[in-house]
Amino acid sequence: MGDPGKLNSSSSELDLDRPNLEDYLPSGTSIQQEPHGKLRLRDLLDISPTLTEAAGAIIDDSFTRCFKSNPPEPWNWNVYLFPLWCFGVVVRYFILFPARVLVLTIGWIIFLSSFIPVHFLLKGHDKLRKNLERLLVELICSFFVASWTGVVKYHGPRPSMRPKQVFVANHTSMIDFIILEQMTAFAVIMQKHPGWVGLLQSTILESVGCIWFNRSEAKDREIVTKKLRDHVLGADNNPLLIFPEGTCVNNHYTVMFKKGAFELGCSVCPVAIKYNKIFVDAFWNSKKQSFTVHLLQLMTSWAVVCDVWYLEPQNIRPGETAIEFAERVRDIISVRAGLKMVPWDGFLKYSRPSPKHREQRQQNFAETMLRRLEEK
Amino acid sequence: MGNTSSMLTQYDIEEVQEHCNNTFSQQEIVSLYQRFCQLDRSGGGFISADEFLSVPEFAVNPLSQRLLKILDGLNFKEFVLFLSAFSSRASLQQKIEFIFKVYDSDGNGKVAFSDMLDVLRDLTGQFISEQQREQVLTHVLEESGYTRDSLLSISDFVKTLGNSDLKMEVEVPVD
């Protein structure tokens, strides 16, 4: 073994703008101390650390935990609780639900009979039209919130209409948007949905200003970043609300924030939302139920209780990368709402992780092995 | 216990416990069952390779493909048996046998140079050339008294790994 081992240079440059995965994974995965001493057969045969990591992932992993909807514990039925529960079901489904549908219908009638005239008749007077449409969108959102008896506590100063600012919040369900929208008419960036939701998106949301993205299109990111930048600079545009997780998470964890919102050159105002699961779990598990079913579930429960915190605006610090900024803001939101941070990209729900993580491990192993080969 | 959607009865738990030689407590088996059902999204009674790979932490593991060959199509009882090597109650012998099984992909009871080279390739990837890998492997084999053509059996593995402090334990979360 004359020549010293040489590593091939990695053809995939390690993605420098990713936080270090090893910082987040449980301690069992990082090799406890750097093994040293001369390389022996048993060091090559002993694959137990890698196997332990694999088994750990099979038994419990931080990614799946983020999307688990925890069904409520069944009650202990007995003589008096069961009839009480049945009575509750009757009230919820046959009294509350019809009343809520009625409220919602009235709300829609009021909204449409005001919105459509305003939209077409005031075509010349843009500023007035914009203000009225803003108020009307806030109104219909309030009706929505009332239709699930939303009990929302807002903390902190209300968002102000200023240019060069962007709002970011953690994401649990599409109702996050409605809850925030009833207070301030935000412009929003969303995945375009099919069905009646898509119809709403393309008509009403257009009036407050909306940007669409498509998860499945790779080039989409650059186009969307440009649209975001343009929107933020416009003085008349509504403040922009972004959900940087990119997907709905179960309100116990936060997944990694996409850096798009953090490299627009403006201040970022974090908003934290925490739902109280006492009556219903507001997490929209899009794999398990459609949005319509999710809404119906909310409308047949007692109430949706949540807290919204408007937190202090943050600016990127000198020398901080966009990713570090995003992680810092994610930390602020997670601490406020009592959520745990995990190092995974939400889009992994739909795709496999990139080979870079595996390559990092392979490189570490290879380096250690070759170093120990040289030791006497 | 055919359909995963049904609840585990006490009989089922005891059957599984016996099958894995009591390496897991009954509570752990219940937790593992919940996990099994969570991963088996299609409800077929076994976890497919695709369903395993949807766990990012597993998919990034260098040995995932090798493990999938063993894991694919296992029902719950076999799944628990597979994981039993990682229990704190498992003996060193059981852990070494598991490692042997990972190496011995064709199951003939002998681990050849090519098997060891395959595993080394999974672990080092493109960061070492094939030649260097063969050199390193031959070197350490010869140092321990074997040759390139040696076929290692389980007793060779026990001899090599037996007196190292092998740490291969995972805790099953029990709520």
pLDDT, tens only, B114-127: 999 999 999 998 88
Rounded distance between C-alpha atoms, residue A261 and residue A249, angstroms: 18
Across chain B, mean pLDDT equals: 88
Q: Is residue B174 part of a domain?
A: no
Q: What token pair was written down for A18?
A: 């990713």
Minimum-distance CB partner of B126 among A11, A61, A352: A11
Burial environment of residue B101 by CB neighbours within 10 A (0 to 12, 13 to 18, 19 or more): middle
Question: Is the CB of residue B90 less than 8 Å away from at least one CB of chain A?
Answer: no
Rounded distance between C-alpha atoms, residue B100 and residue B94, angstroms: 10
Q: Which of B97, B120, B170 is most worth mutating to test chain A (most A CB atoms within 10 A of its CB)?
A: B170
Strands A150-155 and A253-256, by their bridges, are unpaired
Q: Is residue B4 part of a domain?
A: no
Q: Is residue B82 part of a domain?
A: yes
Give contacts of B162 with chain A, Cβ < 8 Å.
none
Supply the range of the domain harboring residue B115: 91-169
Give contacts of A50 with chain B, Cβ < 8 Å.
61-63, 123
Mean local confidence (pLDDT), B93-119: 91
Predicted local confidence at residue A72, as pLDDT: 67
Query: Among B62, B90, B118, where does a domain finish?
Result: B90
B95, B83: one domain:
no
B18, B30: one domain:
yes
B19, B71: one domain:
yes
> What is residue B128's three-state secondary structure?
coil
Handedness of CA A225, A340, A149, A72 (dihedral sign): positive
Predicted local confidence at residue A24, as pLDDT: 52
Closest C-alpha to A212, from A199, A227, A222: A227
Give contacts of A42 with chain B, Cβ < 8 Å.
160-161, 164
Q: What token pair was written down for B124?
A: 């080092």
B78, B136: one domain:
no
Q: Count how many pairs of residues, chain A against chain B, have C-beta atoms within 8 Å.
A: 163
CB-based contact A45 B161, cutoff 8 Å? yes
Q: Is residue B102 part of a domain?
A: yes
What are the start-end ranges of the H helices in B125-169?
130-143, 154-161
B82, B101: one domain:
no
pTM of the shown model: 0.77
Q: What is the mean pLDDT of each run of 10 residues along chain A (376 residues)?
A: 39 40 48 65 86 91 84 73 87 92 92 85 80 88 90 91 88 90 86 78 78 71 80 81 89 90 89 90 82 88 92 91 92 94 84 84 88 78
Looking up tokens 């919940």 gives B34
pLDDT surpassing 50 at residue B4: no
Q: Is residue B2 part of a domain?
A: no
Predicted local confidence at residue B163, as pLDDT: 75
B101, B141: one domain:
yes
pLDDT, tens only, B138-171: 988 888 888 888 898 999 888 888 876 788 999 9
pLDDT, tens only, B15-37: 999 999 999 999 999 999 989 98
B19, B79: one domain:
yes
Return residues 15-54 of B near A (CB < 8 Å). 32, 35, 38-39, 52-53
Question: Is the CB of residue B164 less than 8 Å away from at least one CB of chain A?
Answer: yes
Predicted local confidence at residue A170, as pLDDT: 93
% of residues, chain B, pLDDT over 90: 45
Mean local confidence (pLDDT), B8-12: 90
CATH number for the domain harbouring residue B58: 1.10.238.10
What is the count of structural domains for chain B? Answer: 2
pLDDT surpassing 50 at residue B112: yes
